[in-house]
Homo-oligomer: A and B are copies of this chain.
Amino acid sequence: MTAAPDTPAPLRRDAARNRQLILEAARAEFAERGLEASLDDIARRAGVGIGTVYRRFAGKEELIEALFADRMAEVVAIADEALANPDPWSGFVFWVTRLAEIQAADRGLKALLSSTSHGRDRFASAREQIAPRVVQLIARAQEQGRLRADVAPSDLALAGYMLSAVADYAGTVDREVWRRQLTLVLDGLRARRSTISPMPVPPLAVEQLADVMRGGA
């Protein structure tokens, strides 16, 4: 009677620790291998039995929701941060860059951001918050005259997707090469320019490219 009406009984200490281990393992596994990472692998990585995972989370769906709720909020926050930048073009570049970084670092989050069919749309609201902010970011930068006038919001979504696709593809060999493609795309997005932006990282050597191709997909 002292407890709040529906506070679930607190977890036993070992259970709480295991729950944490599971979340950490899941985060790592989803980041590396995407949302189709198996619960068995997650359990193994956490050093825990599969039964333990199912005792804590109804299923994969619930685990994903528990993990990614705040990550999606983080993306919304990044859009806000971009809009807070007084220089429209800088804000725009910040957004595109940060978004690509986030997706490059986490295949699971990438899937959640570019697909509607996971997580029963516990995440729909986050996506709905992001969209208008991106529209604004684009409009501002176009009014300023630095962003080419013929790009639509959907173009930016596709550009983000494509950058994270390279990150996935080459990520095992070089975690950062995708930044070169980003540089290319950003230079393509400028309304006009007389020079090129410097490349932030060295290119893949042919040898490394062969390694990437050995890696499948």
- Total number of A residues with any Cβ neighbor in B under 8 Å: 54
- Does A84 touch B at the CB level, under 8 Å? no
Contact B204 A152 (CB under 8 A): yes
User: A11-46 CB contact bits vs B (8 Å, 1 = yes)?
Assistant: 000000000000000000000000000000000000
User: A138-158 CB contact bits vs B (8 Å, 1 = yes)?
Assistant: 000000000010111111011
Q: Is the interface of A mostly helix, strand, loop or mixed?
A: helix
Instruction: Select which of B154, B177, B185, B205 is within 8 A of A185 by beta carbon.
Output: B185
- Does A55 touch B at the CB level, under 8 Å? no
Cβ of A114: which chain B residues have Cβ within 8 Å of it?
169, 213, 217
What are 15 A-B contacts defined by CB distance under 8 Å?
A111-B217, A115-B215, A116-B210, A154-B177, A154-B204, A154-B205, A154-B208, A157-B209, A158-B177, A158-B180, A158-B204, A162-B165, A184-B185, A192-B193, A192-B195
The 5 A-B residue pairs with the shortest CB-CB distance, nearest first, are A188-B188, A152-B203, A165-B165, A184-B188, A154-B204
Chain A residues near B (Cβ < 8 Å):
111, 114-117, 131, 148, 150-155, 157-159, 161-163, 165-166, 169-170, 177-178, 180-181, 183-189, 191-196, 198-199, 203-206, 208-210, 213-217
